[in-house]
Each structure stands twice: as C-alpha cells, then as structure tokens.
C-alpha cells in the first residue's frame, strides 16, 4: 500500500466508471447528472474583464488587489447582510476545494499528542474533501448529526455546510445562532461552507456572517464562498473566505510562503462577476427550470425527494441501495452520483445534479417517463 493510499480514502468517482460506460451506450447518448459542473457560458462581462487583464506579466499578490477586496466587501455587505467588513476580514483563494483540502494543514492541525489527535468535524453526509483535509494533516476526522453534541476537548475545526452538498438542506438562522454560540463557548473555530448560498429554492439560506447569527462579531467564524456555481466560473478557480481577521491574517502569511496566488486576470474577472446581479438571476432561472422538470420526472418515476431546498442537486431515493438505483438509471442512459460517496448515511440515496444542458435535461425527463 502506498503512503498516499494509506492516508486517504479511495477516490470514489473511479467506482462509477462502469456505470458511466453503460449510460454512454444509450442510443441517444449519456445524460450525465453525476457531477455539479457548470455547462452554461461564462457571462460576457466576465470574459471581457478576463481578457482585458490578460496583459499581466507580473506576479499577483496572495491578498489580491484592493479592487478585488473592495468587490468582495461590497458583495458581503449587500448579499449577506454582513456589517463592518474590513479588508482584513477577506482573503481570496484558488478555488474553494483547494481551501477545504489544505485548510487543516495551514491551520497547523495534525496528530496532536501521543494520546490525542486534533479533531476536524463535518456533517455525517458531506462533501468528501472535508475528510481528505483532515487526513492530509494527520488530524482525526469525525462526523456529526448535531455539532453541539460533539466533545469539544480536542475539536479544532468545525465545518458547517449550508446549503448542503449533497442533500441541499439549509440550516435555519436559529440553528446557526445556537451552533455559533456553542462553538464560541468552547473555543472551536467554525468554517462555514456557503458556496451554494445564492441557490436557495424552497428556503432562503443565511450566512454565519449575518449580524443576526454572529452578533456583529466575526470572532471564531469564517465563511467560504465560490463563484463556480453562481457565475459559471468553475474553470476560473475564483473563490474567497471572509470572517475572523486574526485567522485570515495567519492564513495570508502561510499562503504567501506557499505562493497560493489567484491569477491576476481571474481577480479582474471576479471583480466584474461580483459587481453584476443580472447574470446570477439569469443562471438561477435556468437552474430553476431544470430542477422543476427533473424533480417532477423523478417523482413520477417512483422516487422520493428529501431536503433539496437549495443547491444544484436533488437528493432522491427509491428506498433501495444506491448502487441499485445507479445501475437502473444507467440503463436509461442517465448517470447520477451514489449517495454513499458522501457518507454511509447516504447508502439508499442518489444525488442528481441539474447542471446539464436544457437539451440533456429534456432527454432525461423523456427517458424517465417511458
């Protein structure tokens, strides 16, 4: 066994390859609803900003340009209701997945003492990279149903994820208030993954940075945001974190040493994207239509949809093992993600992304109705 394989879980998507081959053999081609990757065009104003900054021969800064920090500050205040945001409360990152994977290492977490490891906790159903981040630094990954029931003794990092990937569940404001108060009481650092916050359908997601949640103080809390979903910028790796200035100040110094710089043209593109609401509403409308069509078709086909009040996914079950469902849909030429990719609690669910084109979604709806 290699050193890497002994430290990390198996890469789950490799297990899906045989089912992908089955789906691809469909006469009308595969409808891939397994990965939430954007397929719609990058907004024109963002492309123009990127190309306008193409002549960037010098090194960018890890902290980003003042214009970028101003754009993030403005968006945090306008969209999240955050107050008194300073540049010290902001840090651009090279895509949110990089941040999630390497955050525990950059925070200096690890094996701890001979008798106790540092603990990184995350939801029982969750994005697999939370666990990967803990394992990369030698910390102990722990799952939870209610974070306030965790033993805080060695808990160094608590991940929240609302709206959730994979379930689309949204934590209510009162729930966030309760969790933040508990974490502060026990000196536990919260990182809240809010990358799907602008994609609420049956609920209005609230950020931990909202004053009703954090009490106007960012102590002990950091929010993670990405432009991958809301602006179709997955290929740009445009993301940022915001919150506790002391935590972000330490991360800034570490990331300077590591050369973790967002490319200058991407910084310019991010400024343009955060300054425009029209393209976000247009993309929301596309996703809303695809979501409605797929949800109706899945229910008519015998599925039950749970949670799914936000994000880019439908959390669906036929009350059978997830791999049985994956196989069934693959025979229809539809590829979905098995729920156990996100934890054992998902073993009877599948995650259905509605990020395919209108034409492919229409094809899936037709196949589900036959």
pLDDT higher than 50, residue 318: yes
Residue 115 pLDDT grade (very low, low, confident, very high; cuts 50, 70, 90)? low
**Digit-coded pLDDT (tens) for 137-151:** 999 999 999 999 999
What pLDDT is stored for residue 11 in this prediction?
72
Q: How large is the angle between the packed helices 245-258 and 96-106, nearest 10 degrees?
A: 100
pLDDT band of residue 14 (cuts 50, 70, 90) is confident
For the chain, the first-to-last Cα distance in angstroms comes to 46
Position 279 pLDDT exceeds 50: yes
pLDDT at 113 over 70: no
Q: What is the pLDDT of residues 39-96, one digit of tens each?
A: 999 999 999 999 999 999 999 999 999 999 999 999 999 999 999 999 999 999 999 9
In contact, 160 and 120? CB cutoff 8 Å: no
Q: Please provide the average confidence, as pLDDT, over all residues in the chain.
A: 95
Q: Is the pLDDT of residue 6 over 70?
A: no
Is the link from the previous residue into 163 a cis peptide, with omega within 30 of 0?
Answer: yes
Nearest residue to 154 via CA among 192, 195, 194, 104: 104
pLDDT of the residue at 5: 53
pLDDT for 223 equals 98
What pLDDT band is residue 1 in, cutting at 50, 70 and 90? Answer: very low
Report whether pLDDT(2) > 70: no
- pTM of the full predicted structure? 0.95
Q: Look at residue 3 in the predicted model and tell me its pLDDT.
A: 54
pLDDT at 116 over 90: no
Catalogue all structural domains in the chain, each as residue range(s) with its CATH number: 3-41+279-368 (3.90.1150.10), 44-276 (3.40.640.10)
* Percent of the chain at pLDDT exceeding 90: 93
User: Over the stretch 291-313, which tens digit does the pLDDT of each residue have?
Assistant: 999 999 999 999 999 999 999 99
């Amino acid at each position: 066994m290699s050193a890497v394989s002994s430290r990390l879980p198996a890469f789950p998507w490799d297990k899906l390859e045989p089912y992908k081959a089955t789906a691809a053999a469909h006469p009308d081609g595969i409808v891939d609803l397994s990965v939430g990757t954007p397929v719609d065009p990058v907004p024109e104003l963002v492309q123009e900003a990127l190309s306008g900054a193409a002549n960037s021969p010098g090194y960018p800064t890890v902290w980003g340009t003042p214009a970028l920090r101003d754009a993030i500050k403005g968006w945090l205040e306008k969209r999240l209701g955050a107050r008194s945001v300073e540049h010290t409360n902001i840090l651009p990152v090279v895509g949110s997945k990089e941040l999630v994977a390497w955050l525990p290492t950059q925070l200096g977490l690890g094996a701890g003492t001979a008798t106790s490891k540092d603990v990184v906790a995350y939801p029982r159903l969750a994005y697999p990279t939370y666990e990967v981040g803990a394992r990369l630094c030698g910390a102990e990954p722990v799952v939870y149903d209610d974070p306030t029931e965790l033993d805080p003794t060695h808990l160094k990092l608590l991940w929240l994820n609302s709206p959730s990937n994979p379930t689309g569940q949204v934590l209510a404001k009162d729930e966030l208030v309760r969790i933040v108060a508990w974490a502060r009481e026990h000196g536990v650092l919260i990182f809240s993954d809010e990358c799907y916050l602008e994609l609420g359908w049956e609920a209005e997601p609230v950020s931990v940075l909202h004053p009703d949640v954090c009490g106007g103080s960012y102590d002990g809390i950091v929010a993670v945001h990405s432009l991958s979903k809301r602006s179709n910028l997955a290929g740009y790796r445009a993301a940022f974190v915001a919150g506790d200035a002391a935590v972000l100040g330490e991360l800034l110094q570490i990331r300077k040493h590591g050369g973790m710089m967002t490319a200058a043209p991407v910084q310019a593109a991010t400024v343009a994207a955060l300054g425009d609401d029209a393209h976000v509403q247009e993309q929301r409308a596309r996703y809303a239509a695809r979501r409605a069509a797929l949800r109706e078709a899945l229910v008519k086909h015998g599925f039950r949809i749970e949670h799914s009040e936000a994000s880019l996914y439908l959390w669906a079950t036929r009350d059978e093992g997830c791999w049985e469902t994956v196989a069934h849909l693959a025979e229809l030429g539809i590829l979905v993600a098995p729920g156990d990719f996100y934890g054992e609690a998902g073993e009877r669910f599948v995650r259905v992304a509605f990020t395919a084109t209108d034409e492919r979604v229409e094809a899936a709806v037709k196949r589900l109705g036959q």
